Amino acid sequence: MTAPRTLLDKLWDAHEIVRREDGASLLWVDRHLVHEGSHHAFAKIAARGLPVAEPDLTIAVVDHYAPTRDRAAIADKQIARMIGTLERNAQDHGLELYGLNDPRQGIVHVVGPEQGLTLPGLLITCGDSHTSTHGAFGALAFGIGATEVAHVLATQTVWQSRPKAMRIVIEGALAPSVTAKDIALNWISRLGADGGHGHAIEYAGATIRALSMESRMTLCNMSIEGGARFGMIAPDETTYAYLKGRPHAPTGAGWQAALADWRTLESDPGATFDAEITIQAETIAPTVTWGISPDQAIPVDAALPDPAGLPPARARHVEAALDYMGLQPGQPISGTPVDQVFIGSCTNARIEDLRAAAAVLKGRKAVVPGLVSPGSMLVRAQAETEGLDRIFTEAGLSWEAAGCSMCVAMNGDHVAAGKRCASTTNRNFKGRQGRGARTHLMSPAMAAAAAITGRITDVRDFDPARAA
């Protein structure tokens, strides 16, 4: 009899080709996602006269630098050149391309799942740290560096060291207005920005099973912000229902065979984890970051930390963050003025996210400017069919095309120095949304509430039942 195995064990063992003496594994890659920032890797294989080893398993997507406005004539010549380079590389190597003018274009971590390219049991790599998003489907998914991207292009394999296994169990029912984004910020604030360091996280428990696929993607997406190598969730009926009928999903007898295989992708009873924590869902409130790291987060009804009384090293860290953010120790985070809002990114720009923001904004006016960038052009089309775009524009927000946009500030969308943004993105590092920008991470509904009030606001204040 074999020892009980974790989901990580099953996925890793299924893809391991060989293991070196130092413990590193050569892994087969089932899906390799590339974007316009991957041009260095293509240049590396071109310099050696190498083709893409498995063009049918390599998918190209324009997202990081994709303009959200004026796509017909890209003003920035460097961005136009990078997008053109990806298009030529895709054509030269016979890759499927979701280009700038493709109606399916979008952020790579949104496009993969909605096209059915992301499937349970696959190993998925991309030159982007938030590749962990795809782990929501029971896939082994992680970001890789430029040299590794070139290695995958040339060999369809990648060298990796197996991480330790961590399980985060969430039990109970989430309160109204509490989302997957709040779950992520909650556990990261508890364990710290390096709380998952060296580990792959499996999310489990009744709360996780009750989440939609969109919410599961948000949670897995944020795993790396807590230091984890990647996150994952065992597939279930919710997963299968999401995937059925997707363009690249199996069909007919192939679908039935896939289901039989996918249903084995769960941690065995009695499997041993290197670390495990349990969180009760009812202890999680709408959460917002106050500092310059995703672990610097508190419930929206809490006060900012006071360095006084903290150990010297931590006190200096808190003081530096408060100073950069222009905040005072001990003051409530709620009521902090914001200059603008951003609703978008691979973390929170799917249709569920847009619906949540629109539900708060409907019939109301924003008092600060804001930009809404859907995760893909298909999400954009669906939102427009549902009339969500009109809710955003009537509220006074800008409704634009799909791309990474203000999350990485590479396409011209950015937050000005000293300005404060209520953002649905994944990182609040210094300069992430623009040099000198001040970012507060929160859920789409929270960002919508901030747009209406012009300050960080508890979205539960807009819940009629709570107000009564």
Tens digits of per-residue pLDDT, 412-452?
899 999 999 999 999 999 999 999 999 999 999 999 999 99
In the predicted structure, residue 251 carries a pLDDT above the cut 70: yes
Residue 51 confidence (pLDDT):
98
CATH of the domain at 192: 3.40.1060.10
The reply to whether 20 and 138 lie within a common domain is yes
Q: Are residues 310 and 428 in the same domain?
A: yes
Structural domain count of the chain: 3
**Distance in angstroms (rounded) separating the CA atoms of residues 370 and 396:** 8
14 and 92 within one domain: yes
| 94 part of a folded domain | yes
Q: Is residue 451 part of a domain?
A: yes
Q: What is the predicted pLDDT for the residue at 457? A: 98
Considering the chain, what percentage of its residues have pLDDT values greater than 90? 96
CATH number of the domain residue 73 falls in = 3.30.499.10
Question: 292 and 274 in one domain?
Answer: no
Task: Give domain status of residue 395, yes or no.
Answer: yes
> Would you say residue 261 lies in a domain?
no
Asked if the model's pLDDT at residue 358 lies above 80, the reply is yes
> Model confidence over 183-219: pLDDT tens digits?
999 999 999 999 999 999 999 999 999 999 999 999 9
Contacts for 47 with CB less than 8 Å, ≥ 6 apart: none
Those residues with Cβ within 8 angstroms of residue 215's Cβ, 6 or more apart along the chain or in another chain: 179, 180, 352
CB 215 within 8 A of CB 179: yes
Do 404 and 384 contact (CB within 8 A), yes or no? Answer: no
Same domain, 154 and 170: no
Are 296 and 371 in a shared domain?
yes
CB-CB neighbours of 72 under 10 Å: 7
| 57 belongs to a structural domain | yes
Task: Say which residue, 323 or 468, is predicted with more confidence.
Answer: 323
Q: Is the pLDDT of residue 309 over 60?
A: yes
- Total residue count of the chain as it appears in this document: 468
Residue 162's pLDDT is 98
pLDDT of residue 468: 44
431/391 same-domain check: yes
Query: Quick check: is 378 in a domain?
Result: yes
Domain of 181 in residue numbering reads as 164-235+267-283
In a domain, 249, yes or no: no
* Across 373-378, average pLDDT: 98
Distance between CA atoms of 148 and 127, rounded to whole angstroms?
Answer: 8
- Between CA 328 and CA 326 the distance in angstroms is 7
CA distances to 22, 71, 199, 223, 299 from 227, rounded to whole Å, are 23, 36, 8, 7, 21
pTM: 0.97
Do 329 and 445 share a domain, yes or no?
yes
- For the chain, the average pLDDT equals 97
pLDDT band at 75 (very low <50, low <70, confident <90, very high): confident
Residues of the chain above pLDDT 70, percent? 99
- Residues 108 and 432: their CA atoms lie apart, in Å, by 19
Does 421 map to a domain? yes
Residues 49 and 19 in one domain: yes
Same domain, 315 and 380: yes
Are 104 and 19 members of one domain? Answer: yes
